[in-house]
Structure 1
Amino acid sequence: MIRTPRRMGPRWPVPVGLSAYRNILALVAALTLLQGAMAALAVVMSFSLIAGGVSPAGIGLVASAYSAGFLAGTLVAPFEIGRIGHIRAFTLLGGLCALVMLLLPLAGPALAGWALLLALAGLGAAGMLTAGESWIANAAPAQRRGAILGFYHMVSKSGAIAAPFLVAGAIGGLGAFMIVAGLFVMALLPVAATNRTQPELVAARPLWPTRLIALAPASALAAFCAGAVNNSVAQLYPVFAAGVAAESVAAFSAQLNGAILAGAMVGLWPAGLLSDRFDRRVVIAGAAALGAASAAGIALAAAAGNSGAILWCAALFGAGSLSYYGVAVANAVDRAQADEITSMMACVLVVWGIGSVLGPPVAGLFMQFVPGGSGLFVFAGIVLAGLAVLCLSRAAAAPPAPAEGREPFSVSPATSLAIAEFDPRGDDFQPDLFSTPPQEPTP
């Protein structure tokens, strides 16, 4: 008997728009877990050093070592990825970060040991971000890079919000270190399991910071202040939480981090829309002023012992202080030549990295001398208020970039040099999705 072949049902094609997201889902999942591991690491670092009797100034120095390693990893990682490939580099550096977390309990209260190990962790995390983001940049279609960049930024931030809650119940024992090590290992799984071909390395070479200062001094100042303030808060907020809510410090610390990042996610788009319509330097000044006022509110609420007011002010702080970095990038891009846009965006990130190294030790000194840990937000308020004044002064002294030469705002997270190539403003050709397609010539 001859069997007729079974008719298969129709295979529904995946829409072009959705296929672009499907191609990078594994990478986004890996980097979301990585962002969570980095956020949880800050919590474990601060609480472990507090338990060891380390002063806030000492914790600031250790946080600075992590930031120095991160900056070094941002600059060095592209060469290692080019040598051994994305998957091997991502796996190697993820294993290094997990190993660091398992060794940290052996360091005890010795600051030199913590600083060395966390510098290695910063280097590894920066390299993992470079490998993952350059891979996404290669996989994302040019006409959808802006949307995919925004999707990646929002999803990955969810990991940074959730992870501190995950370690909150294990603070004070080896379990917290194992959870963070596990998150680093989990980040390896989607990348190691992918069957997709590794791309060529995509990573911009930064310009010298002097070029950025000459073209867009407001952007250079804003990037430096963003690194100094936002990284200090990201690394040291658990120390502040320990001075406010001693009985439920881990839970309150996670709530504080979640409020700050949620405010940042809400405030990012309004800041970008306003910057496309007004002088970007004025928008930076407004966001910095909001951050400064909110930082003052946090300090006052902490003095009054009002944890609810602290969380509301923290959300406003995130909406202000964590939203202007992308505007600073856009302001620099507006003034760059077409062939140096990606390098200019990478340069802004390097200036941010310099600020992230120098900020935590100074913030730690503020926390040392201001009771209750509120010195962190006193430091943040002073820096942000100064940034607001200087950006307004710059806006009054020099005209804004011509409207016809301005690039539209796009999300610009401060992560790796590869993010500059990921950003659609660096493409030579930017199609207008709302324009009429050109007509074919009539034969």
Structure 2
Amino acid sequence: MPGQRFVPSTSTENDGQTCTGFTYNGAANGTGAGACYLKNAVSNGGTQSFTPASGTAVDYVAAIMSRYYNPAGDTFSAGSTGTTSAAGASSAATTSTSSSTGTATPTVSPNQFACPANDNQTVTDSNGVSYQLSCGYDTDGGTYVQFAVNTFDDCFSYCDNTATGQGAMVCSAFTYSGGADGVGSGQCFLKNANSVSFQTSYNVDIVGAIRPEYMAVPVANPTPYGSCPGANGTIVTDGAGSQYEVGCGYDTNNGAFDVQSASVSWNDCFALCDSDTGCTAFTYSGGTNGVGAGQCFMKNFNGEAFVTGSNPSLLVAAIRYPPAASYPAPVSSTSAASSSAAGASSAAGTTSTTSSPPPAATTDVCVNQTVVTDSNGISYQLYCDSDTSGNGAFTTQGYPGGDFTQCETYCDANQCGAWVWSPYSGGGG
């Protein structure tokens, strides 16, 4: 028997006859006729917990008033099939809409997702459940239970296996808060709203995920052409078909000919630069990692190079490649590319992607007074916007497209001691 039945009185709790919880025993999953066994915590030391059912578990459903609930006394595992106790349900917080700390621990299945690599992707976890992943963004809606986790990857299993008796009736989304890019210990906050969306404030210590069937009408992605720092060193093709190399945390070396406002993120600067045929680069200055309102400093010099700025976390720069440049075209893809539990390569955004950087990708960004090693293993010290002293060049070589890294290869082949790159107005140099 699930327990003694009693008839509630109108007296105070001190008489031991106040209903503090109940157990239903009847039809499977609580659907159909059955008996309700009312319980009182006062006669049981003041608290109640969930314990395994003595009969067929699926025929039982239980609930405890939150002020009498003692999660430390639970003796079932969240995530087991069906309802689980003579006084319990399949989650330690099935009736609560406020945040509570989970103590029942489901088996955590391994996943191999990573931020920012899987940002803005639909991923399928090791239990076969799909989620839309957003690195750096919280999910809205109240928390019905939270768990301590070792990494954001652990949240998937908790969400898959921790039931709820309200809202969507399942875990519809979660937010991890802990280490940068979801690495390291933290807290997993489970949500059960029927409609969930990502918030717009970026925080590198947060990772959010929503089951696609519970996603609210999506808000425009603030970074459709890629997010920093993941986009650093990549080539992006924007909506106008222009190619740019991205430098997260960098400025460009020449002054601006115009300054325009960015209302959402650094991605706003692409269209502004595209609208002026003389624009060769831009630098965004505003929010952390380029998210938020800021300013676009438009550049019109040939031979723009990346340089370190005074506040790198607030800067994103991009250098525009001329149409004649012989760089590899980005690989086309659709929005929100899917991946498996084993992970997949990152997509830059909903309307563009990244491709492999130009040849000699480790040296094609000019950072002043740095030493770089080219594809032949030969090192050079770079001086952006500088010439070399001494005698004139003993040989020259022109290229219709490309960048200064081609000088490294040419110098290697001719055993030279130094070189100077001078760009053509139409591309190459």
Tell me which interval the TM-score lies in, with the shorter structure as reference length. Answer: under 0.3
TM-score (norm 1): 0.23
Higher-helix-fraction structure? 1
Instruction: Give the structure with the higher percent strand.
Output: 2
Q: Greater Rg, structure 1 or structure 2? A: 2
The structure whose RCO (Cα within 8 Å, separation 6+) is larger is: 1
